[in-house]
Chains A and B, each alone.
Chain A
Amino acid sequence: MRISVGARTDVGRVRTNNEDSFKLVPELNLFILSDGMGGEAHGEIASNIAVQAVAAHCAEGRRDPSTPLLVEPRPELSTETNRLVSSVELANRMIYESAQKHPAQRGMGATVVAVWINDQRLSVAHVGDSRLYLLRAGDFQQLTQDHSLVAEQVRRGIISREQADSSDMQSVLIRALGIDPEVQVDADEHLLMEGDILVLCSDGLSRMVTDLEIASTLLSQNGLQPAADRLVELANEYGGEDNISVVVVRMEPRPEGLLARVWRWLNEPLNATSSAGGN
């Protein structure tokens, strides 16, 4: 399937530095986004390590499938999804070790959401509160579950979604890269269809702009880069309280095959066929 992509990151209106990173690897159809945290410039370091490590490990796995995995492969996941999980483990380890080596970096961490598309199979791995959404036939859904305290409280039935949205505890994560030597990575697989649009974003977008507005922006913009630009603009219009990053990926419809064209030609009324032949 042909895949097109648009992406944008922005510091927002409040913060002075951008701790988000993203990386697009179109030759692998691999797209990665990370939101870093930590004092001074360390959030940037952490998110940059995250996206680079994921990209490198997946590329290595593609070049040499015998490249060892960092964790036991899960039997319910495909080869690529297991590789993606392993790459997130690697990112975790690299951030953790860097922080251990450099005392100034203690406490730095990052979220990550990574998607790898092979044929029509979507592999997803994520840790933290950066999100993946799918827009399919007008239906917009979040495919990842935030690893945040409020999301966990909602899952456990302690607070309602509305309470979560207005909570001042939204920035508290229960999982992130770089905090412990190992991390629990969420992984999933989905079948992609022509016309599907995926959105990877940091919480700087999802906390400022509602799901409905994200979906309608995607539907109303021509082209993915303008859509990514517009989403960042909207988050800024609503206050831009955090760094804003967004990666938008679309499964482009396949050009019509020869057989389909012949079939259509055979089924067309006679007069339409003759006029087409006259061109």
Chain B
Amino acid sequence: MPKLILKFEAAVLKEVSVGGQPVTIGRAPDNDIQIDNLAVSSHHARVLAEDNKLFIEDLNSLNGTFVNNQRVQRVQLKQGDQVLIGKHHLVVDMGAVEAPALPDTRKVAAPKVEETMVLDTKKRKELLQQEAAGGGAPGAHERTQPVGTTATAPPRARVASLVVMEGSTDQREYLLSSKLTVIGKSDMATIKLKGWFKPKVAAQINKRDDGYYIGPADKLPTVNGQPIHGPTKLNEGDLIEVAGVKMNFVFKD
């Protein structure tokens, strides 16, 4: 099934399959792909599948829909097309049918494998080098990179910290060096909230290979005023507010 991969600069934000129903794109929350940016109209564009072909339609958006740098009204999408909406990109992946040629890994491993087997270090290296060469074809690595994993060359993990702007905590600044940072009154909390009626665990921050994600616990935190319902990636300068405490998210270099 064809897919749309939503990217902001190098980061993959979301993957959406395009099937029977059109996929809607816009700033309003009822869109299939919501882009929370003022340059994006509330119902900006939609992508639909007709006879195994994909089409994108601009829904009279203010700032326009661009395919490979051309402003478009309605146009067919092809494998690898770059759609620009506001500052976000959508990359078109038509799926298995038009996927780039696979490097032939089978010769290296085995014919048909029934039993579980493990590649030894040497074989693994051989295979990964082959893959790296295969994946290095122009644009090939961009198209199918899944969400939440690192690319072939993972970016060096940067350490961030939270600077307390307002509210009662036991420190002014917290370095986010742990995999899991808990905000609350609990013993396991790194960011200790002080005062009566503060939640045991107000929110959590997870450090992953591709950055930091904040998620709710007993409270719904907000990031730049927007309530967070699930894990949400943090960006430089984000203002986090939870249980009466305001904090600024900054990277340490």
Q: Which A residues have a C-beta under 8 Å from some C-beta of B?
A: 35, 37, 75-78, 81, 109, 119-121, 139, 145, 149, 152-163, 168-176, 179-180, 187-191, 193
Instruction: Give residues 150-205 of B contacting A (CB, 8 Å).
Output: 150-152, 177-180, 182, 186-188, 201, 204
Q: What per-residue 1/0 map shows which CB atoms of B123-149 lie under 8 Å from chain A?
A: 010011001101100001111111001
Q: Find out whether the CB atom of B99 lies under 8 angstroms from the CB atom of A163.
A: yes
Q: Does B38 lie at the interface of the complex (its beta carbon under 8 Å from any beta carbon of A)?
A: no
Asked if B180 contacts A157 (CB within 8 A), the reply is no
A154 to B232, CA, bound (A): 23
CB of A168 within 8 A of CB of B141, answer: no
* Interface residue? B48 (CB, 8 A): no
Q: Could you tell me the distance in whole angstroms from the C-beta of B128 to the nearest C-beta in chain A?
A: 8
Question: Would A76 and B188 count as touching, CB distance under 8 A?
Answer: no
Residue of B nearest to A170 (CB): B113
From B49-57, B70-78, B102-110, B242-250, give the one contacting chain A: B102-110
Q: Are A179 and B118 in contact (CB under 8 A)?
A: yes
Instruction: Give the CA-CA distance A158 to B105 in the complex, in Å.
Output: 11
Check if B1 is an interface residue, CB within 8 A of chain A: yes
A171→B117 contact, CB < 8 A: yes
Contact between B144 and A76 (Cβ–Cβ < 8 Å)?
no
Known contacts A169-B105, A171-B113; is A154 also within 8 Å of B180 by CB? no
Q: Is the CB of A153 within 8 A of B131?
A: yes
Of the candidates B3, B95, B115, B187, the one whose C-beta lies within 8 Å of that of A171 is: B115
* Interfacial chain A residues near B252, Cβ < 8 Å: none
Interface of B with A (CB < 8 Å)? 1, 3, 93, 95-96, 99, 102-103, 105-106, 109-110, 112-121, 124, 127-128, 131-132, 134-135, 140-146, 149-152, 177-180, 182, 186-188, 201, 204, 206-207, 215, 217-218, 230
Contacts of B217 in A (CB 8 A): 191, 193
Contacts of A173 in B (CB 8 A): 116-119
Asked if B145 and A157 sit within 8 Å, CB to CB, the answer is: yes
A156-B135, A163-B99, A173-B119 in contact; A145/B105 too (CB < 8 A)? Answer: no
B112 touches A191 (CB 8 A): no
For A159, the chain B residues whose CB sits under 8 A away are 99, 102, 144
Q: Is the CB of B206 within 8 A of A162?
A: no
Provided the pairs A149-B105, A156-B141, A156-B152 are in contact, do residues A176 and B118 lie with their beta carbons within 8 angstroms?
yes
- A174-B124 contact in complex given A157-B145, A158-B131, A191-B204, C-beta closer than 8 Å: yes
A161 & B146 in contact (Cβ 8 Å cutoff) = yes
> Least Cβ distance of A49 to chain B in Å?
16
Residue contact B179 to A119, C-beta cutoff 8 Å? no
Interface-central residue, A145, A154, A174, by most chain B CB under 10 Å: A174
In the complex, the answer to whether A172 meets B144 with C-beta atoms within 8 Å is no
